[in-house]
Amino acid sequence: MNYSVNKHTGVPPSGSGVGRKVNSPEKRIVSWVAACALFVFCSSVPVQAGLLKPDLDYSNYQTPLRLQMVNRIKAKIAARLGKGENRRDRYFIIPFAYQNKGNSPNFSHSFISVVRVFADQKQPKYTPGLRRGNYRNRNFEAFTISWLPHDFDENPNLCVFDGAGSRVNPNLNKCRPVVGRSFTLPETLKLAANEKVAVGMWGPYEIRKQAFDLGVKRKRLLDGGSIRYIADDRLYRKNRVAINCFHAMAGLEELYPNGGFLGTGWRMWGIDGTARVLIEYTKAVRNQGAILEPVDYKKDLYGFVYAPAVNSQGVYNPFRNASAYHD
């Protein structure tokens, strides 16, 4: 495989955190709102579906990928809120991952969406800069952290490892930081659909307000333009110069341990990468109450799989449960 050019962001070359220092309990929950960075911790965490899989669901095949996923998120959150009066604001996170058939790091990405549903019968106090909406007479606001080069939708060719031995020694890497931006959920899913990759989602999981607030802080930091993007951020993240898509969602000062083969975590990208986040998060954070419900990183995973036609044979489906899409 040629690693000198990467079409996608997801080569997390080293450990997981670039995070900022915060006081307890924020220090304990920052890694979740920043969730995707922890994926490189272990050398293996296979969460792909087993050999026996149910048939791929084609019932929504004519619905574009974006609408399938958004409809699922809305329905899941609505079910959690119930039909009675919702007297307080509620907060949710939805972790995502995508990857191609070969699970190539240059066709993998991790990202996360955060949602606030406002209390019923109250005037919502919206957060400036977040997307607003209404579903079943309930107001909500939401944002996504999906850190990519600012022009990645038009120029998906990205320097990752350029130079002999650069994957082992970052000092040999000739790639340099570029201007980054956080893509929206529709923009990110369009990138996934264009590449016909398998897209997975977990949750929605309910979280506390403190975790939502930390997510907003991270969005503000990324939008501020002081931090750039680079896929191999080993030389840059400590000084807050540039980070990759995973570390964009982690703390920026308190580093997490490097791990796995060559400091990358063996195949710790895409689906396995975001699953690693969930494992580390539930061990390190759930007992402090940032996430308000149990997490099962295997059973909670639902997928969306590209199929060229209805009832296609031999499509790439790494999920136990999945719907088909073609657009």
pLDDT for 33: 47
pLDDT tens for each residue of 129-176: 999 999 999 999 999 999 889 999 998 877 878 899 988 899 999 999
Phi and psi at 260, nearest 5°, equal 80, -175
Asked if residue 190 has pLDDT above 90, the reply is: yes
Other CB atoms within 10 Å distance of the CB of residue 134: 10
Q: Is the pLDDT of residue 113 over 80?
A: yes
Q: Position of tokens 């607003």?
A: 132
Tell me how far apart the alpha carbons of residues 124 and 141 are, in angstroms, rounded to a whole number: 10
Confidence of residue 195 (pLDDT cuts 50, 70, 90): very high
Could you tell me the pTM of the whole model?
0.81
Confidence (pLDDT) at 39: 34
Higher pLDDT, 251 or 19: 251
Mean per-residue pLDDT of the chain: 80
Per-residue b or e along 212-250, where b marks 16 or more CB atoms closer than 10 Å to that residue's CB: bbbbbebbebbeeeebbbbbbbbebbeebebbbbbbbbb
pLDDT band, very low/low/confident/very high, at 86 (cuts 50, 70, 90): very high
| CA distance linking residue 184 with residue 301, whole number of Å | 21
What is the Cα–Cα distance from 223 to 300, expressed in whole angstroms? 31
